[in-house]
Structures are given as structure tokens and as C-alpha cells.
Amino acid sequence: MIGFLKELADFITKNTGLPVEIEPSPASPPDAHVRIIPKGLSYQSYGNTPNDLTKQGLVQLAVELHLVAEGTGEVFLKMVYEASLKLNRLFDGYHAITLGTENSIGFSVAVDKISEGEFFVNREEGKFPYMFMEKWKGTITWRMSYALE
């Protein structure tokens, strides 16, 4: 599962140039970056009959992607605008993205925007005065099979 998250992170970085962190992470940079936050796991079996020797199904990992940046001024606004545009253009063209494999298991990712980006006053001490956040939700899906005991 971690391999799927890392491949999604690599896909985003390769296509947008934005750094990606997989949560939970100890610290976040102020520059525009994407955070991948795992939310929940579900499993749905299929194609099993009494004579099957294996159980098969689809595993889905719900994730949120947050485009986050901290800063102030024109450089901050330009950075946020460019990062948001790159991410929107990346996910706008796909219904689902099929990515590489982890241990020869292919997987797909479907991503939709939850909310438009927003600027917030950052009240944390030692941080930049403003924060930007844009939220996306996604589902990573892969097939799984295992022998029945």
C-alpha cells in the first residue's frame, strides 16, 4: 500500500514539478506542495464460488490530496496560482489514472476536487502570515487475491 502512495506521489511530482509528502510527516515546507493523506481502506470480494481455491476482490484506499503553501506577497500569489493550475490541469484530463505496479499489482487512481483553493490567515507562531489550501479526494484501487485456508 505504501508503494501505491509513493507511486502516486512520483506521478504528481513528475507531471507538475510539485513536491509531495505522504502524511503523517514530521514537518512541511512553506513552498507549494501536495500532501497525500490516507483516509480509509475498504475491500469488496468478487468472483468467488464454492469451488474457488482463491478469494479475489478489489481493495480501495480513500485519500485526500491537499495543495498547501505558506507565504505573503506577489511571489506567494504567483507560486500558488501556478501550483494550482498545474494540479488542476493534471487531474482534469483523467477519469482514472492507471499507474505502475507494486509487486506486479497494477492500480488506478481517481481524483476529484473537493473545494476551490482558499487563503487563510496563519496564526501559528514562526510561520508565514498567510496559508493557501486546495483539497482533492481520491481513491486508489487495486485487485487482491489470496488462497483460502
Residue 146 lies in a domain: no
The three cell numbers locating residue 77: 500569489
Average pLDDT score over the chain: 86
Q: Say which residue, 119 or 149, is predicted with more confidence.
A: 119
**β partners of residue 44:** 58
The residue among 9, 41, 14, 13 whose CA lies nearest residue 25 is 9
Report the number of distinct structural domains present in the chain. Answer: 1
Indicate the pTM of the whole model.
Answer: 0.81
Residue 148 lies in a domain: no
With cut-offs at 50, 70 and 90, classify the pLDDT of residue 54: low
CA 58 to chain centre: 19
Give rounded-to-5 percent helix, strand, coil for the chain: 25, 50, 25
DSSP H helices, 68-116, are 73-92
Domain of 7 in residue numbering reads as 1-141
